[in-house]
Amino acid sequence: MFNHTRKYNTIIITALILWIKTYVVYKLCFSLLTSDWKQEIILFINPLSSVLFLLSLVFLFSERVRNRFTLIIALLLSFILYANTLYYRFFNDFITVPVLFQTNNVGDIGNSLLAQTYWYDIFFFLDLIVLFYLFKRQSFQPVPVTRKDFSRILVTALLLLIVNIGLAESERPQLLTRTFDRELLVKNLGTYNYHVYDLLLQSKTTAQKAMADNVDVVEVKEYTDKKSAPANPDFFGLAREKNLIVISMESTQQFVIGRKVNGEEITPFLNDFIKESYYFDNFYHQTGQGKTSDSEFLLDQSLYPLPRGAVFQTHPLNEYHGTPEIINEYGYYSAVFHGNNKSFWNRDIMYKTVGYDKFFAEQYYTINDENKINYGLKDVPFFKQSIKYLKELPQPYYTRFITLTNHHPYKYDEEDQMISTYNTEDPIVNRYPVTIRYTDHAIEQFIQDLKDEGIYNDSIIIIYGDHYGISERHDEAMGQVLGKEITPYDNVQLQRVPLIIHIPGQEGKTISQVSSQIDLKPTILHLLGIQADGIHFGTDLFSKDHKQLAVFRNRSVVGKDYIYTDETCYERKTGKEIPVETCTDIKEQGLHELELSDGLIYGDLLRFTDFATSKK
């Protein structure tokens, strides 16, 4: 096909370098595993079509600037590859368009990004230097080309894309419907093609609001009404007129509860506090790319977070009907306390939308080099400085406290270490129990301050983990910690986070039913004695008819008896693999709920509703 080879020298060399580099990154940085030769071929060829397509565009420019634009394209693709590598190292996921708009978060996650940067990352860009000097040689100086030359490269790229998609569809039917599985899309379409497809998805979801009408909300309301569970009369109104204090524990997973390091308890205070509280030991987080902000959304709205990006960032001006707005009708003042800047996760905008009366962000705290680490104020001074504001709030109040210290990469000051590290080859996992122990200590002091100020006995206290702390990228080290090989079943079980509900005068009890963050809103409302007419996908945790179902954003589902994940079905209690058809019901229900919730948010359907609440 290629006559007059010199016309294509720069294209061929640049394409080969970018192609091979991308494939190497797939294998070494993204850990994209293949199970057979066909999948390996798809993985190998998928970068080439997008690389050739973009490089063909340089033929639209004059010979004088053509090499310059070739280098610009190479730099752009290298940057995309490296940005995804950093994101994947941190989140075990790939960048989406909504994530790109979370620019106000970048400065605050500097420590986490720095922890994902290695000296050998320079190799991501060394090829650009090679190309720069190569293009200075006479044999690589551009020569005149025709439209036919441009067409040859373009047609070759399109043919490769067709072959790529054809092979991928034969290997994984309905691939393009699996938008939730970004790793699968990258594995089959390639990093660059995936981003093009993600742009198309963004355009589609943006159009949903304009096309929505009040009929669309009916199906959602009918489903959640049918799923809802009546309040347990023994618990309904148990917290009426009491203060409600919710503590969000950053990156805290359930496996640390009751666990020791070198004979020392990681969470000694929480272990004791659980004994005098209701403790849910099969409580799962359900966050997506929004992490902590997603957990807040689940808590207050009982809706699922979005599959791409964070609701706080993408839909902060939607109409919502969440806990702060509902309880305000019954005289409850609402506030959030957080020792970080107010715009992180777009909280300052979102909190106004959902009806919070006050947001105590970093400007309310004294923060200096001695009392901050990672993202902001350390947990001990955070709680200490918050007490004076808490005392001044109108009662009764609904308050949320968001901790920070136990955040990736789990750095700590030497004077704050109260427990030994783990002894694995993974520094992230090793430091994890140290920062959790510090948060445990901070909460202990806070609870004591509540007692000293006369607040404790008149308050319901809810403590929960917001999302996972150790991702699947650290499975090898986690296997050493837990003393077993980590399987997909274990990865689901590691998504359990602590949930502690302390009710004054009530004895402690461990409840092992399946539950999740989406269940918190109806639980809180019923404890306050409020029967809200609204849309919540969760059900009251204390209801005798509580629906045992936890649905994750990656479409894994945990039911009363089974766990569905990675297209495999397991017995929940034993982890034994069973026929996948056994999980059909919970799989379909989980998918249906995600689709209904997504449609509700993308279409801003709650603007078509007018819910009422009643107090019995």
List, by residue number, the catalytic residues: 292
Instruction: Classify burial at 424, counting beta carbons within 10 Å of its beta carbon; exposed 0-12, middle 13-18, buried 19 or more.
Output: middle
Calculated CA dihedral for residues 343, 341, 374, 377, nearest 10 degrees = -150
Strand, coil or helix: 337:
strand
CA distance 314 to 311: 5
Token pair belonging to 88: 């994947």
Q: What is the DSSP letter of 411?
A: -
Among all chains, which residue has been given the structure tokens 């209904």? 596
Strand, coil or helix: 577:
strand
Beta strands in 442-486 (DSSP E): 459-465
User: Does the N-terminal peptide bond of residue 396 adopt cis geometry, omega within 30 degrees of 0?
Assistant: yes
Q: Name the β-bridge partners of 551.
A: 557
Among all chains, which residue has been given the structure tokens 């959790």? 436
In this structure, are residues 108 and 341 in contact, taking their beta carbons and an 8 Å threshold?
yes
Q: Name the β-bridge partners of 264.
A: 261
Question: 3-class secondary structure for 494-531?
Answer: CCECCEEEECCCCCCEEECCCEEHHHHHHHHHHHCCEE
Token pair belonging to 61: 């420019």
Among all chains, which residue has been given the structure tokens 């019901």? 585
Task: Write the Ramachandran bin of 31: left for phi over 0, alpha for psi from -120 to 50, otherwise beta.
Answer: left
Q: Which of 286, 289, 338 is nearest to 312 (CA)?
A: 289
CA distance 244 to 463: 11
In this structure, are residues 312 and 350 in contact, taking their beta carbons and an 8 Å threshold?
yes
Angstrom CA distances, 390 to 234, 299, 325, 393, 472, stand at 29, 21, 20, 5, 38
Cα(first)–Cα(last) distance of the chain, in Å? 80
In this structure, are residues 580 and 568 in contact, taking their beta carbons and an 8 Å threshold?
yes
Among all chains, which residue has been given the structure tokens 């071929």? 41
Among all chains, which residue has been given the structure tokens 């589902």? 557
